[in-house]
Amino acid sequence: MKSTALLLSSIFLATLIYKNYFIAEEISEVPSEVKSKQRVLVAAKKPEISTGKSKPMKKLVISRGRTRQKSQNNSNGLKSAYKKAEDYSFVDGKGNILLEQVLVVGDKVIAHGDVVIGDYKKLKNIIENGGVLKLLRPKLWTNGIIPYTISPELEDMAGTVENALKAFKKIKGLRLRTRTDEENYLLFKLGIQDCYSFLGMQGGEQAISLTPGCREKEIRHEFMHALGFLHEQNREDRDNFVTVLWPNIPDKHHPQFKKIPGEYMYGMNTSFDFNSIMLYPPNSFAIDLNDYTMVTIEGDPYPVNPGNLSPIDLERINTLYPAK
Ligand SMILES: [Zn+2]
pLDDT tens digits, 45-80? 232 333 333 333 333 333 222 333 333 333 333 333
Q: Could you list the active site residues?
A: 222
Q: What's the gap in Å between 232 CA and the centre of ligand 1? A: 9
Q: Give the per-residue pLDDT at 102.
A: 61
Average pLDDT over residues 254-283: 88
Average pLDDT, the chain: 73
Comparing C-alpha atoms, which of 282, 295, 284 is closest to residue 113?
Answer: 284
Q: What's the gap in Å between 280 CA and the centre of ligand 1? A: 8
178: alpha, beta or left? (left if phi > 0; alpha if psi -120 to 50): beta
pLDDT tens digits, 114-136? 456 677 888 887 777 766 777 67
Please say if the pLDDT value at position 8 is more than 50. Answer: no
pLDDT tier, 264 (very low <50, low <70, confident <90, very high otherwise) = confident
Q: What's the gap in Å between 21 CA and the centre of ligand 1? A: 9
Q: Which residues have a Cβ under 8 Å from the Cβ of 258 and sit 6 or more positions away? A: 76, 87, 88, 89, 90, 112, 234
Q: What's the gap in Å between 243 CA and the centre of ligand 1? A: 19
Q: Which amino acid is at 205?
A: E
pTM of structure: 0.72
Q: Which residues have a Cβ under 8 Å from the Cβ of 220 and sit 6 or more positions away? A: 164, 167, 168, 277, 307, 308, 309
Comparing C-alpha atoms, which of 147, 219, 205, 151 is closest to residue 176?
Answer: 147
pLDDT tens digits, 72-92? 333 333 333 333 334 555 566
pLDDT tens digits, 181-220? 999 999 999 988 778 888 889 889 988 989 999 999 999 9
Q: Which residues have a Cβ under 8 Å from the Cβ of 193 and sit 6 or more positions away? A: 14, 17, 43, 105, 211
Please say if the pLDDT value at position 108 is more than 60. Answer: yes
Q: What's the gap in Å between 231 CA and the centre of ligand 1? A: 6
Protein residues with C-beta less than 5 angstroms from the ion ligand 1: 18
